[in-house]
Amino acid sequence: MSSADSTIIIIPARMSASRLPGKPLADIAGKPMIQHVWERASAADIAPVYVATDHQEIADVIRAAGGEAVITRDDHPSGSDRVFEALQIIDPDESFKIVLNLQGDLPEMDPAIPAALVAALDRSGADLATLVTPSTAEEAARPQVVKAAIAWDTSTEQATATPSRFGRALYFSRAPIPAGAREYSHHIGVYGWRRSALSKFVILPPSPLEKVEKLEQLRALEAGMTVAVTQIGSVPCGVDTEDDLDAARRRLGH
């Protein structure tokens, strides 16, 4: 049995985003942003999809579109904590062993992303999996672009124009790493978790490197968890600011 047979997709969405409050409900091409994300996750057709939110209006939007939503506490420090609470509500009997945590601000997310996360977990046996895409040195110089240092498994690369690449994350940073690289790996903040690993992660205190870099995934590395990585072709455009929202509206047809 593959991991997909026991997988659930949960999309955390909160109203109080510091840079763009209320963004899950921001209109893009006639639909709230969170609905776009839910539709793309559902289009993957590999697992049931739920939205985990602290706001009734977000839940109402998803239910009106035919989806499932769970109301969670409003004091979670991270999306991972919100996802875990929702998981416990949805599945107290622990039938789902793999949990995909997708960002609620990726209205242009490729529906292939969930399958890529599951494939990385199946292939690696890691505690969790995430994605990267190639980045230029110019892009890597920006601290808002998170970079990953990865031990690539060269035996998995195919002799094609767009080889699949699998590896293991060694570190994540806002600084350009590895130093002197010709090409960097831009981290995409979506995760595939083994449920057992997520349950351990959410009870750990923030780790020293996590607090320095302000990167939650470093807590997993510092705790000794293995993080599998798959490279995909491009970064799904996220929405963090008004400018990002305007750009998404132009691309998707305002």
**Where is the domain boundary, 107, 135, 152?**
107
Q: What is the DSSP letter of 192?
A: E
What is the reported pLDDT for 63?
98
**Residues 50 and 167 grouped into a single domain:** no
Classified as helix, coil or strand, 175 is coil
pTM of the model: 0.92
What is the reported pLDDT for 2?
52
**Residues 129 and 207 grouped into a single domain:** yes
Give the domain CATH number at 91.
3.90.550.10
**Residues 13 and 53 grouped into a single domain:** yes
Q: How would you classify the pairing of strands 49-53 and 68-71? A: parallel
Question: CA-CA-CA-CA torsion for 109, 111, 112, 113, nearest 10 degrees?
Answer: 50
**Where is the domain boundary, 107, 132, 158?**
107
**Residues 22 and 86 grouped into a single domain:** yes
Identify the helix (H) or strand (E) that includes residue 43.
Answer: helix 33-43
**Residues 84 and 124 grouped into a single domain:** no
Domain span holding position 57 = 1-107
Query: 22, 11 in Cβ contact below 8 A?
Result: no
**Residues 94 and 6 grouped into a single domain:** yes
What is the reported pLDDT for 20?
75
> How many other CB atoms are there within 10 angstroms of residue 104's CB atom?
27
* Residues of the chain where predicted confidence (pLDDT) is lower than 70: 1-5, 17-18, 156-163, 254
The DSSP line for 58-108 is: HHHHHHHTT-EEEE--S--SSHHHHHHHHHHHH-TT----EEEE--TT-TT
* 208 falls within a domain: yes
**Residues 116 and 226 grouped into a single domain:** yes
The model's pLDDT over 193-244, given as tens digits with 9 standing for 90+, comes to 999 999 999 999 999 999 999 999 999 999 999 999 999 988 888 877 888 8
* 248 falls within a domain: no
State the sign of the Cα–Cα–Cα–Cα dihedral 219, 223, 225, 229: positive
**Residues 161 and 103 grouped into a single domain:** no
Alpha carbons 49 and 82: distance in angstroms, whole number: 15
**Residues 103 and 117 grouped into a single domain:** no
What is the reported pLDDT for 160?
38
**Where is the domain boundary, 91, 107, 123?**
107
**Residues 199 and 188 grouped into a single domain:** yes
Query: 237, 106 in Cβ contact below 8 A?
Result: yes
Smallest CA-to-CA distance from 2 within 238, 223, 192 is with: 192
Smallest CA-to-CA distance from 193 within 104, 27, 79 is with: 79
The DSSP line for 207-224 is: PHHHHHHT-THHHHHHTT
* 252 falls within a domain: no
The model's pLDDT over 17-39, given as tens digits with 9 standing for 90+, comes to 667 778 899 899 999 999 999 99
Task: Count up the domains in the chain and report the number.
Answer: 2
* 245 falls within a domain: no
